[in-house]
Structure 1
């Protein structure tokens, strides 16, 4: 079939032709906005899940909903940066939101106050010198100038919320890859959201990240579990996975044979990204606006090769030889979460010796800890890929520490 008409979108964060199986989350987000607009509180959410299940797609859907509802949207992806860079990113985004809420020429006393608090928040000195927001609004005194990220972010979001309320509008912060925030940054966001809830202001935060986020948020602030829900999204069930394939094809006038759908769902295990990738490859080999079981079988090799060379490989290529061996040992033990001591035993090491390696893989976002003492891959089917990419377990020799003289 015509490549230009291919309706499948196997790209990072790309919205599929039809969003299937996420009605519960979108309904909860819509309710959140409506309640906040009426001055009523509602738990926000931090969506968790493995790579490729559609967390970013869902955030993008939330952005569209918020914009239709007339809310200002601030969105960015968390990266591993220190406090100064985090302040700069937040200040730039908050400045843009404030100016969209109310152009500078029409600022009221509340709007100007928000701008002054934002200026105080943005004052930051790094190795290059003082960073400037590029406007001449003097910083407020006594607000957002405490030198404590949590207190400062709270002040600026409260001031922005008051400006939004005055305009009968609201602000949504959408943050992807939440697990890459450091502990003070995550704690600051939770602290600020807590104060916003107490003031019943029309500002909310919705995040997305890997499954360990719920634990990290609880560690940052004990009341996080009362501020947020942590819905976990996973693979689609058989009915939704089938619909994602069939309805997407139907958008371009193509149909699936029943046994073709069954095989495609079996191959992909219902993972949304895998569905898009397999559907894309099927489209390239199918003819006559009909996708048959033979087309699925023919597309299977190209689908597997594409995942191996892109989705999987880019993660393995970041690993050191010892990190690679650790993941290969996990794969050898099976697809379920693996106990640290079992992995260490298979590698001929102790858990203490391999503790730093395991921690590095978690920090890199390649592993997460579903429960104490266990680790699992953040990418579905990564164990199978490791066995293909690294046929044998090869543990680098242990380098003894030099004795101090």
Structure 2
């Protein structure tokens, strides 16, 4: 069939033609905005899940919902930058949001005050010698100038929230890859949103991240579990997976045979990204608008190669030899979460020797800890890829310890 008509979108964060299985989350987000607009409180959310289940796609859907509700949107992907860079990012984004909420020549007293508080927030960055602000509004005194990220961000979001409420609008911060925020940054966001909730302001923070983010948020602020819900999204169930595969094709006049759908769902296990990739490859080999089981079989090799060379390989390429060996040992033990002591045993090490490597892989977002003492891959089917990509478990030798000498 024609490539230009291919309805599948196997790209990072690309919205599929049909979004299925996420009605609970989109309804909850819509309810959140509606309640905040009426001055009522509602738990916000941080969506969690493995790679490829559609967290970024869901955030994009939230953008559309917020836009239709006439809310102002700040969206960005978290990274591991220091607090100064995070402060700079927040200033730049919030400055633009404030100007969209109310152009400077139409500022009320609350609008101008929000700008002055934002200027104070920026000045504290400039004093560290890392960034010169380009904002000709004099800074407020006694607001957002404490030198504490949490207190400063709280002042800013409260001030902008008051300006937004005056405009009968709201502000939503949509942040992807939340697990890459530093503890101080996540704590600051939670602290600031807590205060806007207490003030009944139309401001909220909604995030998406890997499964460990619920624990990280709880560690940052004990009241996070009351401020947020942490819905986990996973693979699609049978009917939803079938719908995600067949409806895009149907919109282009193509129909899957039932046994072709059954095989596709068996291969992809219902993971949304995998469905998009397999659907894309099937479309390239099918010759008519009736897609048969044989077409899925023919597309399987290209599907596997594409996943191995992109979705999986880019993650393995970031690993050191010892990190690779750790993941290979996990894969040999099976697809389930693996106990740290068992992985160490298979590698011929003890847990204390291999513990730092495990921690590094968690920090990199390649592993997460579903329960104490265990680790699992953040990428579906990564265990089977590791067995293909690294046929033999090869553990690098221990580096000899340097002996201290005294003179």
Per the shorter chain, which TM-score range? Answer: over 0.9
| Counterpart check, 1:296 vs 2:310 | no
Structure 2 partner of 1:271: 271
CA contact (8 A) 1:174 1:205 kept: yes
Structure 1 partner of 2:258: 258
Offset of 1:233 from its aligned partner? Answer: 0.2
CA contact (8 A) 2:124 2:147 kept: no
CA contact (8 A) 1:18 1:248 kept: yes
Alignment of 1:189-208 (within 5 A): 189-208=189-208
Structure 2 partner of 1:67: 67
Cα separation, partners in 2 of 1:32 and 1:125, compared to 1, 3 Å: closer
Offset of 1:125 from its aligned partner? Answer: 4.5
Render the CA deviation track for 1:189-232: whole Å, top value 9, x for unaligned. 00001001000000010000000000000000000000000000
Distance in 2, Cα, partners of 1:336 & 1:35: 40
CA contact (8 A) 2:178 2:208 kept: yes
Render the CA deviation track for 1:302-328: whole Å, top value 9, x for unaligned. 000000000000000000000000000
Structure 2 partner of 1:375: 375
Relative to the length of structure 1, the TM-score reads 0.99
Cα separation, partners in 2 of 1:328 and 1:130, compared to 1, 3 Å: closer
Cα separation, partners in 2 of 1:125 and 1:61, compared to 1, 3 Å: closer
Cα separation, partners in 2 of 1:126 and 1:145, compared to 1, 3 Å: closer
Distance in 2, Cα, partners of 1:258 & 1:201: 51
**For 1:123, what is the secondary structure of its paired residue?**
helix
Distance in 1, Cα, partners of 2:96 & 2:135: 12
**For 1:93, what is the secondary structure of its paired residue?**
helix
Structure 2 partner of 1:30: 30
**For 1:244, what is the secondary structure of its paired residue?**
helix
Offset of 1:130 from its aligned partner? Answer: 5.2
Structure 2 partner of 1:238: 238
Render the CA deviation track for 1:24-83: whole Å, top value 9, x for unaligned. 100000000100000000000000000000000000000000001100110000011111
Distance in 1, Cα, partners of 2:240 & 2:133: 47
Structure 1 partner of 2:333: 333
CA contact (8 A) 1:123 1:131 kept: no
Distance in 1, Cα, partners of 2:82 & 2:141: 24
Aligned residues: 405
Render the CA deviation track for 1:84-115: whole Å, top value 9, x for unaligned. 10000000000010000000000011000000
Structure 2 partner of 1:167: 167
Offset of 1:380 from its aligned partner? Answer: 0.2
Q: CA RMSD in A?
A: 1.0
Relative to the length of structure 2, the TM-score reads 0.98
CA contact (8 A) 2:124 2:145 kept: no
Render the CA deviation track for 1:116-159: whole Å, top value 9, x for unaligned. 00011112457993523322101111000000000000000000
Alignment of 1:50-89 (within 5 A): 50-89=50-89
Distance in 2, Cα, partners of 1:127 & 1:119: 12
CA contact (8 A) 1:92 1:133 kept: no
Distance in 2, Cα, partners of 1:251 & 1:291: 14
Alignment of 1:82-231 (within 5 A): 82-125=82-125, 129=129, 131-231=131-231
Distance in 1, Cα, partners of 2:49 & 2:9: 20
CA contact (8 A) 1:26 1:62 kept: yes
Cα separation, partners in 2 of 1:127 and 1:390, compared to 1, 3 Å: farther
Unaligned runs of 5+ residues in structure 1 are none
Distance in 2, Cα, partners of 1:227 & 1:5: 44
Distance in 1, Cα, partners of 2:291 & 2:73: 40
CA contact (8 A) 2:36 2:201 kept: yes
Distance in 1, Cα, partners of 2:144 & 2:114: 11
**For 1:216, what is the secondary structure of its paired residue?**
helix
Offset of 1:253 from its aligned partner? Answer: 1.1
Distance in 1, Cα, partners of 2:122 & 2:329: 47
Cα separation, partners in 2 of 1:214 and 1:75, compared to 1, 3 Å: same
